[in-house]
Structure 1
Amino acid sequence: MRLNPDEYLEIRRSVNRISDLDKFNLPRGVLHSILIQKKVESVKRKYRIFAEKSDEILKYWKEKGSFPKWLTLTPVMKIRILLKAMGLSAKEIWKALRNPDILDAGLREMVYRAVSTDFVYSPIATKIQLVFGQIGEEIVEEKLRTLGVKFKKEKELKMQKTPDFLLEEPLEFCGRKVVWIESKAIFADYRTYEIYFKKQFKRYLELFGEGIAIFWRGCLEGLDVSDGCEFNGELKRKLLEMEVRIRRDKELEGNPIDIAEKFVESYADQDIFPYNAEVVRILKNMGFLVKQED
């Protein structure tokens, strides 16, 4: 999907939380990616400023048991500043975010709430981005194999800064012959494209020649990329619709965070998932559209 700049700016201004994804009649995955990029840019601007006030944040938490209202970061990034101010190492913070139960009662609930609601920086949010990236690459790989195109994947190329797919012979794609394909499971605005062009695409052009980047969750009009419109199928639908179907019979038992992560890991291959009320809440917090099957 391609958006014109005015439409994109209106969306970007309007989406500030997951519930805002319902404001527009557009694929959920497109809106989700725009929202995440907006949050990431905000955190990058503010994090260092707030990190320098970590002692003040820790003092406030000890007195009030909460964060000051002026600390406008995502839930997990607030927790990171707090735990670091308490003296925890980066490794200890990572463990706490992965398993809040290792913390004392005063922190446990706050950390759990953060990791179950932060759709940008929580471990499960990171897992979602990883899985979506893998799905995008799987779509490309299936298409190339169907066409009988021989290629090497990034991990097979013993070089730095290599594309996801390097083709042995040029392939006609998007009106030109390409020898490499890069898959991105995000939305590309002008700034995002420029970052990746300088960081990756320019180097690929110099080393290998003509290629194409696919931004599965949409892009702005005028960018010299694919928006994935050349592809069809269930995997592409999952990237764009972010729909999870739940069958409600008996409730699945276990750690909700662990179950939610396992659901995400099997998202590409599984169509219907067993029910767990807390897992449903977490998946909705992460941006999924959850539907119940009879």
Structure 2
Amino acid sequence: MAVIKPLKLEVYNAIVSDFNKLNSFSRKTENELKKKYKNLPACTLGSIISLLVQRSMKQNYRKSPIISSKYHDLYEELMKETNRGIVILKLSEHQGVSPALFSRSLLQNVYSDSLMTKKCMKDTTLIEDKDLAYQVFLGVMNDNQYGPYADIIKQSVGLEYELRLERELRLLNITFSDENILRSRGYDKTPDFKLDVPIAVDGFIINWVESKALFGDEENHAGYLKEQLTCYWNRFGPGLVIYWFGYLETLNSMPEVNNMFILRTSFPDKSSITQYKFEL
């Protein structure tokens, strides 16, 4: 597998600029962007798009009964047409929101109970109106970034890369305590793996390893630093953060990097690792 290199800022900014020109957040639009940046690893571009969609929705979407009612009226009007096609995809594109988010807003106008809305998003067979159930199903399945389908994908990918990291540690006979063990010892915030005996990577001492199955840019890295990484450093000392899908090269200039922890896009090669023996 080819090693993913830190992404240059100008490339990242170009992707953001092209993203901001999009008028849709469907899978089709995402694939069009991937064609333009086909030289980038698909996982890197996909993760960047995911981050940008999430932020765009948080900034621009406003949850309110008025908006839900408006979306429902638009939906009812379009459903009267004979050749209507996938109505939710058309409307979500026109309104500039992701298909799953539009579907959720639509259901919020149908069900006053937010718990029922959540259940219907996960299981569209619970929706009594068969046409609405079909449209919501298509909206959810055509959205890689929002909704239960997207959440399952992200959770599965995250677990896959944690297992990959665990396998790497075991192959090198590096003993560790995982999150479950650390929580049983009373730690509330824990890295994915706390090494029982520290190792050195290119001369940098590592006490813990954190797996991030996504792309790291300045905004999400700052969030992780505040909510997780600083805590790990305070409790366990320096560590290693792996952004499996790459990270912005400017992160290497951050004061915490190469001081509190080092960044990598994969687990380091055996040749760069120094292992120590624990002696009583």
Amino acid at match of 1:140: L
Tell me the secondary structure at the aligned position of residue 245 of structure 2.
coil
Q: Distance in 2 between matches of 1:68 and 1:10?
A: 25
Q: Distance in 2 between matches of 1:106 and 1:125?
A: 22
Tell me the secondary structure at the aligned position of residue 217 of structure 1.
coil
User: TM-score, with normalisation over the residues of structure 1?
Assistant: 0.73
Gaps of 5+ in 1: 233-294
In structure 2, the partner of 1:183 is 211
Aligned counterpart for 1:80 among listed residues 104, 126, 141: 104
Amino acid at match of 1:228: S
- Residue 10 (str. 1) matches residue 35 (str. 2): no
- Residue 114 (str. 1) matches residue 139 (str. 2): yes
Q: Distance in 1 between matches of 2:226 and 2:174?
A: 28
Offset at 1:42?
A: 0.5
Offset at 1:222?
A: 3.5
Q: Distance in 1 between matches of 2:66 and 2:240?
A: 42
Contact kept in structure 2, 1:50 and 1:71, CA below 8 Å: no
In structure 2, the partner of 1:145 is 170
Q: Distance in 2 between matches of 1:72 and 1:194?
A: 27
- Residue 155 (str. 1) matches residue 180 (str. 2): yes
Q: Distance in 1 between matches of 2:225 and 2:59?
A: 22
After superposition, the C-alpha distances for 1:189-231 in whole angstroms (9 at most, x for unaligned) are 1111111101100111111110121100000114232122636
Residues 1:148 and 1:183: Cα distance change in structure 2 (over 3 Å): same
Aligned counterpart for 1:62 among listed residues 67, 70, 76: 76
Offset at 1:32?
A: 0.4
User: TM-score, with normalisation over the residues of structure 2?
Assistant: 0.76
Aligned counterpart for 2:113 among listed residues 82, 89, 92: 89
Bigger drift between 148-157 and 166-175 goes to: 166-175
In structure 2, the partner of 1:123 is 148
Residues 1:206 and 1:84: Cα distance change in structure 2 (over 3 Å): same
Aligned counterpart for 1:196 among listed residues 203, 224, 232: 224
Contact kept in structure 2, 1:182 and 1:214, CA below 8 Å: yes
Q: Distance in 1 between matches of 2:6 and 2:92?
A: 40
Q: Distance in 1 between matches of 2:98 and 2:209?
A: 33
Contact kept in structure 2, 1:57 and 1:68, CA below 8 Å: no
Residues 1:182 and 1:14: Cα distance change in structure 2 (over 3 Å): same
Offset at 1:138?
A: 1.3
Residues 1:63 and 1:144: Cα distance change in structure 2 (over 3 Å): same
The structure with the larger Rg is 2
In structure 1, the partner of 2:122 is 98
Residues 1:231 and 1:77: Cα distance change in structure 2 (over 3 Å): farther
Q: Distance in 2 between matches of 1:198 and 1:227?
A: 21
Tell me the secondary structure at the aligned position of residue 219 of structure 1.
coil
Tell me the secondary structure at the aligned position of residue 48 of structure 1.
coil
Identical positions, percent: 29
In structure 1, the partner of 2:25 is none
